[in-house]
Structure formats: C-alpha cells, structure tokens
Amino acid sequence: MKRKLLTCLFFAAACVLTIPVGAQTVAFADQRAGWLEKARENMPELIRTEVKPQWIVCSEKDPEAFQGWKMIRTEPIDSLYNSSFKNRKEVIVDFGDHLTGYFTFRIDHTGLPADAPLRFRLTFAEVPAELNTPFDPYPGGLSRAWLQDEVVTVMHLPETVTIERRLACRYVKIELLAQSYYDFRISDIKFEAVSSASGEGRPLEPTVDPMIARINEIGLKTLKECMQTVYEDGPKRDQRLWIGDLYLESMANTYSFENHALTRRCLYLLAALADEDGWLHATVYELPKPEPQINQHTMDYSLLYGVTLLEYLKATGDRQTAEELWPVVVRQVEFARTYLKDDVYDMEKQPQWWLVFDWKDDLNRHAPIQGLMTFAIDKSYELATMLGREDEVKEWPDVVKAMRKASRKNFYDKATGVIVSGPDRQVSYLSQVWMILSETLTAKEGERALTAVLDDPTTCYPGSPYAYHYVIEAMIQCGMNDRAKELLKSYWGGMIEKGADTFWEVYDPNDDFKSPYGFFPVNSYCHAWSCTPVYFINKYKDIFQK
C-alpha cells in the first residue's frame, strides 16, 4: 500500500495543515512521549518456534495452477542432508506452511576441508511462481529489495549461515554459485518462526462447512503471521503498521488470539507518532526507531482509528486506554469536519489526502468517503457515550444526521436504488457499502442497492480483500446472510482452491498476475487485511457456522 506516497508527498510539501493550533494541540504534543512509553510497555514478547522442512520439491509448470506453477514433492529432506550438494547444485525445500522469521542452514565438508569459499543464492518464496519468475531486470514499482533473494559467501566450513533479515516464505531455493574443489553437504535447515500470537483461535461448531473451517484456519494463520511487535500489513513486504490493517486485524484478534496488549500497543504507537497537531499518520515504522511515515496521511484510515478504539474498548473494557486516547479520536473527526461543505465531503479542498478504500484506481471515492466519515463520526460518538464524554462532542450526532441527509440528496439515485458517486455518477460496490455501514441507507434500501451491484457486471467491483471485508459487513448489516456466506466462501475459498497457505494482499479471481506494483512477485501473499474471515466466522456464528 504505497503507490500514492509520492503524490501525497507533493501535496504535503505544498500545504500546511490548517486546523487551529490551540490548547488541545499543545496537549497532544506533550502527551506523545508518554504514549510512546505506553507503546513500549505493551511490546509483546515474540513466540519463537523452530520449524524444519520435511520435503524437497520441484517446480512444475501447470497452466491450471495459481500463476502457472505448482510444487511437486520429490524426496524427503534427509536425502538432501545425506548427499553431496556440490553435485546437486540447486534445491528447493518446502517448510510445508507459511513462516515468518529467521532462516538458518549448516554446511559441512564431507571429505577434505574446503579449500575455497562457497557462494550461494537463497530465494525465499511465499508462492511457487516467486521461484520461477526472474527478478531482474526488475519491472516493479516498489523497491526491488523487498524481493527475498540473498547472496551469501561462506568463507570457511563448517559454517552455520543465518540470514540476517527477517523473511516470510514457505519455499526456499538454494543455488550454488561458487564451489570449492572438495565436497560438502547442506544440513539442519531450519526456520525460527516468530509471532506474537499464540493458541489456535476459537473452536468451531462441529457442523461447520469444511470450506468455512478451512477459510478460518487460513485466516488464523494469516493473522498470526502478521502479528509481530505490531500488527503488520504483510510480513514479507512493508512489515509495518497501517491504521486500516490494524482495524481489521484487531477485530479478527478479538475473535481468535485475544492478544489485546498488541492492539493497545498499536493504538498508543500511532497516537505517539501523530503530527504535533494530532493528525495521525496512516502508517508508522518500528525500526530502527518508532517513526511515522511523514506526510503519509489518509482521511479514511484516520477516521477508522476511533472505530478501532471503540471496538477495543468493547472487547476489553480497558477504559483507561480509551480515556487516554480519546483526544486523538476527537482530533481526527474535527480535522475531517474541516473538509465538509454543506455537509458533504469536499473533494476540491486542499490539501487532498490519500483515500485508500481499495486497490482500484478507477473507484470514485466521493460517496465512499462521505459514507465512511458518517460511519466513523457515529461510531466515535458511541465511544464518547461509553466514556461519558458526550458533552465534548455534543454536535456530532447532528453532523451525522446532516451528512446522512446530504448523502441521500447528493448520492442516492432513488429511481435505480443505488448510490452514485462523482461527476460520472459511478456505481460501485463500495459506494453502496459505506452508505449502508453509515446507516444512510436502511437495511432494505441497502439490500436493494447491493443486490443491484452484485447482479450488474458493469459496476465497479472491489479489487482487494480489504474492500471485500466491508462488502461482507454491509451484507450482514442488510440481513443478506446467505449472500455474505456465499461471497466469503467464493472469494476467500477461491484463494484456497488456488493453493493459498495464507490469504493474499491482492486477489482477483480472474487475474492471478494482478499487482498494484507492476510485478506480481512483489505482492504480499500473506496480508493482514485478508484475515478477516476469522472475524466474520467467529462473530457471526449463526451465519457462518451453521
């Protein structure tokens, strides 16, 4: 989720935030150090698990397989350990599942000591095609260094080689690039897998559809891999906390691993790294030190922070955290309100912030942001009521009402029963979804609108699992339970049918090679925002486990 960085940067360079810097803002700046300390106190201990590969595999071209490649088991791992690697020269080992952590292997001379250094290329792959697509010349739009190929020189044998960078993969290809005169073998390949999640999640009903059970399992695995010292978006690429991913992951966590300290840490970390005037950054780094991605603001993510805090409070009852971070929620809403013109989000106002919503360039975001903002203010007011702070934001309910009214006037086509967005009156899934979630449309209107877009192949459909989350949530809100279940099974189940070990950042059932980055191997194939079936399946048991 990076394509828009440069655009944002240009805007940011040209603009200065216009919200008033008053007493509350100063209080913000003062509180950030304390919040950072809280984030530190909630740093989870990573659970480390040693995992060993069981099989040697080989890549086989198969037009039916995901991205055209599948892996075939050829030999048990011992046959690698018991034979010359000087002769073999190349191997792919299969850890049997997606892992995040640190890779180690041992090299021993088998006869005479090595008389010269060895050189290897190691390539770590989440999916088979990553090992079968040349990385260079690199055509992608993100740093090529996200690709997980490392070249190592081994000066002396025996040697235990550990790759310093944390990796995310299921398969590892080891290629011999330079050899000694004397023979040697590879052994003791292992992964120190890391995660801050433990446990197996909640037990499912015995009657559950096997595909739902499998989706739940893969969702749990996806979430677990992304739960590190923050909720990461992807353990292979980006490896960082985004507000949008946090929202979905923390809800899935509530219905599975229940590591609420991690959610607490992330909420404090984002708050600690906000601008001086309290405007949250969409994403923050942990290493080498906690730091925001400067000027990376997104209006939709900022507004979802308050919803995340609300859900956290509901799940934990941790009133202290919610109290402390409440001012952050107020700042996001108040800043967003400066964008309202006649109760409608002003798409012309500068600076324009990135509106994420989906991996879809062609999605018109006007109706979606109008709906999401209404939803977020409404939820943030619910938080205020839980904290007894309604007085501080007593105008919010009126804002919500006015926005709903304006939305119906400006975006709702009563004749066709769908929400339209932008000068071209675009009809998209997400426009309906956000007007449903914000209760701008009634359940009945929502069902009509969603049914219309579902049945019309010309509507702008979602491009990412992130967007599909909100579609399912909206369906449930409209009582479209069967269609919600059907969609969950077909979309996430579709990835499983294509061999997914974890859910992918990008999934278009019609295009295995889709990439927002111009090169599918740099896609993340274990991505946080795709884990939400865990939330749906475990929260709405009556719908998904029946």
Q: Give the footprint of a second copy on this chain (CB under 8 A).
A: 2, 5-6, 9, 112-113, 115-119, 138, 142-146, 150-151, 153-159, 165, 177-181, 285, 287-288, 291, 293-295
Residue 481 corresponds to which amino acid?
Answer: N
Closest distance of CB 180 from a second copy, Å: 6
* C-beta atoms surrounding 196 within 10 Å: 21
Cβ proximity to a second copy: between 49 and 153 the closer is 153
d(CA 508, CA 360): 11
DSSP class of 294: T
Closest distance of CB 262 from a second copy, Å: 21
d(CA 344, CA 179): 67
Closest distance of CB 364 from a second copy, Å: 26
Helix (H) or strand (E) holding 379: helix 366-387
Cβ proximity to a second copy: between 33 and 151 the closer is 151
Closest distance of CB 293 from a second copy, Å: 6
Contact 503, 127 (CB under 8 A): no
d(CA 521, CA 516): 11
Return the sign of the alpha-carbon dihedral for residues 295, 301, 302, 303: positive
Helix (H) or strand (E) holding 165: none
Strands of the sheet containing 283-285, edge to edge, are: 241-242, 283-285, 291-292
Closest distance of CB 407 from a second copy, Å: 35
Cβ proximity to a second copy: between 26 and 145 the closer is 145
Cβ proximity to a second copy: between 214 and 236 the closer is 236
Cβ proximity to a second copy: between 63 and 288 the closer is 288
Contact 56, 78 (CB under 8 A): no
Cβ proximity to a second copy: between 203 and 288 the closer is 288
The residue among 149, 175, 177 whose CA lies nearest residue 163 is 149
Structure tokens at 34: 């304390």
Closest distance of CB 153 from a second copy, Å: 5
d(CA 374, CA 300): 11
d(CA 476, CA 469): 11
Cβ proximity to a second copy: between 356 and 500 the closer is 356
Cα angle 541, 544, 546 (rounded to 5 degrees) comes to 80
Closest distance of CB 240 from a second copy, Å: 9
Cβ proximity to a second copy: between 126 and 447 the closer is 126
Closest distance of CB 28 from a second copy, Å: 21
- If you write DSSP's letter for every residue of 129-165 in order, what string do you get? GGGSS---S---SS-GGGS-EEEEEE-SSSEEEE-SS
Cβ proximity to a second copy: between 9 and 211 the closer is 9
Closest distance of CB 121 from a second copy, Å: 9
Q: Cα-Cα-Cα-Cα dihedral of 208, 209, 210, 211, to 10°?
A: -130
Structure tokens at 166: 């944390």
Closest distance of CB 520 from a second copy, Å: 17
The residue among 421, 534, 546, 529 whose CA lies nearest residue 468 is 529
Closest distance of CB 89 from a second copy, Å: 13
Cβ proximity to a second copy: between 239 and 431 the closer is 239
Contact 502, 98 (CB under 8 A): yes
Closest distance of CB 112 from a second copy, Å: 5
Closest distance of CB 165 from a second copy, Å: 5
Cβ proximity to a second copy: between 86 and 190 the closer is 86
Cβ proximity to a second copy: between 285 and 339 the closer is 285
End-to-end CA, the chain: 35
Contact 516, 3 (CB under 8 A): yes
Strand 283-285 versus strand 69-76 pairing type: unpaired
Angle at which helices 366-387 and 319-337 pack, to 10 degrees? Answer: 140
Cβ proximity to a second copy: between 138 and 339 the closer is 138
The residue among 173, 156, 195, 266 whose CA lies nearest residue 47 is 195
